[in-house]
Amino acid sequence: MGEKTLPRHVAFIMDGNGRWAKKRFLPRIAGHKAGVDSLKRVIRYSSEKGIKYVTVYAFSTENWQRPESEVKGILELLVTAMNKEFDELIANDVKIKMLGIEETLPDRVRKAFNEAEEKTKDNNGLQFNIAFNYGSRKEIIHSVKEIAKLIDSKTIGIDEIDEQLFESFLYTKDIPDPDLVIRTSGEVRLSNFLLWQISYSELYFTDTYWPDFDEKSYQKALDEYSNRKRRFGSLKE
């Protein structure tokens, strides 16, 4: 039997933390804490399998509408986790990159991301992209505005606009598009996540809540991916 095809880049919509906690009569923040443990398992397993990029949808631009106590808890959890996991990430050669609107983040959160990126910038292992304060539509509008500035300054002409130029202004520039997108908790939608980048990604949905998503769950998704035929619009096998 031949070697199974692995995705180079896997993106995760980590869903179900709140429902996981509710099912156990726990506060929602307990679900988010359990979700961090699941994320650590996913990063380790991805590194072991040789996957080069993992991107997680950690906090959307719409998540600010959640109750203030939950938002505050998520931010504190992020800062604590980033500081606590530095040594392990560095030891495992993981490189961290934030994708999202950095300017409007609280200072302590922005500082945590900046320190993580700085301390891991020379690592050559798995690249761990954290989509935080991220919304795909806002990302696309950002790219459009940057290109409009080039046209307005007569740096480029309209005919010079192509996909490569457009992508150079996305938060994911220099990152290959996801091969596989996994969403947990039974929800079957994309929720404004990497809409440009996942044009030809394989989608995988599971009813498993994110805190319960373990190595076995992950391998099941990878196995299904390896059995799919990706043609990118052509008829070639």
- pLDDT value at position 173? 96
- Asked whether residue 159 is assigned to any structural domain, the reply reads no
- pLDDT value at position 232? 62
Tell me which residue of 19, 64, 83, 74 sits closest to 211, measured CA to CA. Answer: 19
Tell me which residue of 53, 54, 57, 9 sits closest to 35, measured CA to CA. Answer: 57
Tell me which residue of 127, 125, 106 sits closest to 59, measured CA to CA. Answer: 106
- pLDDT value at position 1? 41
- In CATH, what number is assigned to the domain containing residue 129? 3.40.1180.10
Range of the domain at 207: 9-135+178-223
- Asked whether residue 208 is assigned to any structural domain, the reply reads yes
CA distances from 65 to 100, 133, 193, 202, 219 (A): 17, 12, 17, 30, 34
pTM given for the model: 0.93
- Asked whether residue 160 is assigned to any structural domain, the reply reads no
Could you identify the residue written with the tokens 């929800």?
187
Tell me which residue of 21, 26, 11, 27 sits closest to 73, measured CA to CA. Answer: 27
What is the SS3 string spanning 9-47?
EEEEECCCHHHHHHHCCCCHHHHHHHHHHHHHHHHHHHH
Q: What is the mean pLDDT of each run of 10 residues along the chain (237 residues)?
A: 80 97 95 94 95 97 93 92 78 92 93 92 95 97 97 96 97 97 97 97 98 98 92 61
- pLDDT value at position 139? 98
- Asked whether residue 234 is assigned to any structural domain, the reply reads no
- Asked whether residue 146 is assigned to any structural domain, the reply reads no
- Asked whether residue 168 is assigned to any structural domain, the reply reads no
Alpha-carbon distance 59 to 68, whole Å?
14
- pLDDT value at position 86? 66
Residue 63 falls in the annotated catalytic set: yes
Task: Return the number of other C-beta atoms located less than 10 Å from residue 207's C-beta.
Answer: 10
Count of structural domains within the chain:
1
- Asked whether residue 62 is assigned to any structural domain, the reply reads yes
- pLDDT value at position 90? 76
- Asked whether residue 81 is assigned to any structural domain, the reply reads yes
